[in-house]
Structures are given as structure tokens and as C-alpha cells.
Amino acid sequence: MGQSEIESKADFDHIRYAQLWEDADVLTAALGDCAGGTLVSICSAGDNALAMLTLDPAKVVVVDLSPAQIACLKLRIGAFQSLTHPEFLELTGSRPSSRRADLLSQALEESDPETRAFWTALSPEVVRFGIGGVGKFERYFRIFRTRLLPFVHSRKTIDDVFVSRPSEARAVFFDTRFDTFRWRLLLNLFFSRLVMGRMGRDKAFFDHVEGSPAQHVARRIRHAGVDTDPSQNPYLHWILKGTHGDALPMAWRPEHFDTIRARLDRLDIRPGSLEAFVSTGEKANGFNLSDIFEYMSPDMFETVYGSILSAAAPNARLVYWNMMAPRRVPARYQSKVETLQTVEDQLKARDTAFFYSDFVVEQVRS
């Protein structure tokens, strides 16, 4: 298979996602027992490929069409190798820092010249926002938080979102303090197709999406505010406050730092498409497919899905999200895979990266 369909449509010259907006806890739980196996992961900002190292695989093959996204992972590798965990969190932007420029230089010391040049040019932005804040997607959230949110909610209300409460109290807080008329108006404006396409996601990504993004986001925010505990949600915290609180994404937590650092040499980074990996003839035991299927037309999805199956070992799991466009095993491959419905239901209920409408776990029949 040649070029990936989206490759010719979107512009990948800059960082689109400076951190990973998919919940690595549910991803790693969905992949099951992968010890000693080969895993394949879409890179994006690299955090979930790093989280997959906690599963003790023999290797994680990391692919991405975007050199800028691959550079995010390469920088993280340098940061894990050369920084302490508290320094790492300062560099990411999870914690305040007055020395990010130095931490960035330290993290880049052993990097290849392209990665160093790429990130050095971004140093002023890293100093302000951290490496997790410099993508197009994060900029979109920043504009939302700094320019629009203050017209809707006071700082006190935002702080109160992250007070831990039992679920009934969360529903009362959400209905009476958070989900106000102004909030709903803001969602409708900001998550219009036009604005989202212009500021966050490439318009090409909406070609196959059905329904209003704002309606979808409103439903999912209720999941993040009521069904799950906001005080444990790093994604919601970053969106509303521009940094992290107590909760961190999996790969950034202190308890995983040494394990990930010790296994960095198991990452096998292959810039390029997933389709290129599947054409090598290698077999993998699990795939983190991010939400890439949503970026494809249904016909292309079917073709790519078939080629992934040809690169999947028996019992391999395919794990992926859908934000708005429905994508699940195509009819012609249904006899080859089993949908792990119970696993999906349990994990969907826990998923703190709340934007997605669906989370899919499919296992290749042995």
C-alpha cells in the first residue's frame, strides 16, 4: 500500500499534539498481557508508546507520518535519560518552572541534530508553556481557557471542579454551578465545525464526521465531570487550568519513571505510516491505533484494517478510539476478530480523556 490517505490532505509540518490526549490507563489495560511481545503504537506525542513500556513488551514499534510528532517522542527519551522526575514535570509544563530553557538543553544533549534544532527553535514557547503545551491542539485549548472561559466561569468555580466529591455531589455541582447557560453557549460557539477546523483540527479531518461537535463535547464533559472524578483527571485539569494538579497522565507519573527509563531501548521508532509497518511482514501482539481510522474514508478504513490483520499475531488486540465518526471491525473481517465487549464497557466507564465517543478493543481469533 502506498501513501496513507490523510498524508496528502493535512499539513504535518508542526506539532499538532504536544501531549497525548488519549487515556493510557485504559489503553494499557485494554492491550492485556503483552509481556515479551511486540507492540505497535501510533506515536502522536509519544506518551502512550512510553506508557506501553510498563507492559514489559520485547519492543514497541512506534510509527507516525509526522516528523514533528516523532520529535516529541525523541525529546521525551532525552528527558527521561537526563532529568530527574521533578525536573521532567517542570519541562512538560505539569509543574511551574523558571528553568525550562536549561532543562530543555539538558534533555537535548544526546539528541540527533534535527531533533535538537527543531526543539531549540521552540524554546521560547517551551519556556512559557512546557513541552506539553506547544502543539496546535494545546494552543486551541489555551485560547479557550484564557480568552473565553473567564467570561463564563470564575476562577473559584474552576478550582472547585477539582475538589474530590462523591458522585451524587458531583452531579449537583455540575448541574447547578458548571453547566450554565453561558457555558452551553460557549461550547456551541467554540466547538462549531468552523472554529474547530480552523484552530484545532485540520478541516480534512471532518470529512467523515457526523453530528455536531458541540453536542458531542457537551455529552462527554458530563462524563468527565460527573461519571468520573474530575480531581483524578489530568486532561480536564490541563484544559481548564493549563497545567496539571495531583493527577498526571500515566507515563508522567513518578511510579513509572524508572521503569520507563530502563526500557527506552525497547522503542523502535519508524517514522512513516502504519501501512508501511504492516507491509514489512512482521507480526505484532498488540496495536495502539489512536483514532487514526476516523481520519480515513470507510473504504480506506476497510483496506487498512485488513492489512493490519495480516500483520497481527493470533490473539493480538487492536485498540482504538473514535471521536465522532463510527469505526469498528468492518463486516468482511468480523469472523476474524472478537470484540471484547466487557473489557470495552469497563474501560469506557473509566476513560478520563473524555472527548471520544467510542473506545474499541478487538482481538484476533487464534
Which range binds ligand SAM by CB under 6 A, 64-72, 164-172, 183-191, 217-225?
Answer: 64-72
Q: Cβ of residue 227: shortest distance to ligand SAM, in angstroms?
A: 20
Q: Does 290 bind ligand SAM (CB under 6 A)?
A: yes
Residues between 66 and 125 that touch ligand SAM (CB under 6 A): 66, 69
For ligand SAM, the binding residue among 292, 311, 312, 318 (CB under 6 A) is: 292
Q: Does 273 bind ligand SAM (CB under 6 A)?
A: yes
Q: Cβ of residue 292: shortest distance to ligand SAM, in angstroms?
A: 4
How far apart are alpha carbons 114 and 100 in whole angstroms?
A: 20
| Residue 53 contacts residue 259 (beta carbons within 8 Å) | yes
Kindly write out the interface string for residues 19-58 of this chain, putting x where it contacts ligand SAM by CB under 6 A and - elsewhere.
Answer: -xxx-------------------x-xx-------------
Q: Does 311 bind ligand SAM (CB under 6 A)?
A: no
How far apart are alpha carbons 220 and 214 in whole angstroms?
A: 10
Q: How many residues bind ligand SAM (CB under 6 A)?
A: 23
Q: Does 288 bind ligand SAM (CB under 6 A)?
A: no
Q: Does 64 bind ligand SAM (CB under 6 A)?
A: yes
Residues between 201 and 260 that touch ligand SAM (CB under 6 A): none
Q: Which one, 192 or 322, has the nearer CB to ligand SAM?
A: 322
| Residue 187 contacts residue 215 (beta carbons within 8 Å) | no
- Residue 321 gets the label, from left (phi > 0), alpha (psi -120 to 50) or beta, of beta
For ligand SAM, the binding residue among 26, 51, 61, 65 (CB under 6 A) is: 65
Cell matching residue 57 = 513488551
Q: Which one, 8 or 341, has the nearer CB to ligand SAM?
A: 8
Q: Cell 478550582: give the residue.
A: 159
Q: Which one, 17 or 190, has the nearer CB to ligand SAM?
A: 17
Q: Which one, 232 or 322, has the nearer CB to ligand SAM?
A: 322
How far apart are alpha carbons 356 and 366 in whole angstroms?
A: 29
**What does the binding site for ligand SAM look like in residue numbers (CB under 6 A)?**
4, 6, 12, 16-17, 20-22, 42, 44-45, 63-66, 69, 273-275, 290-292, 295
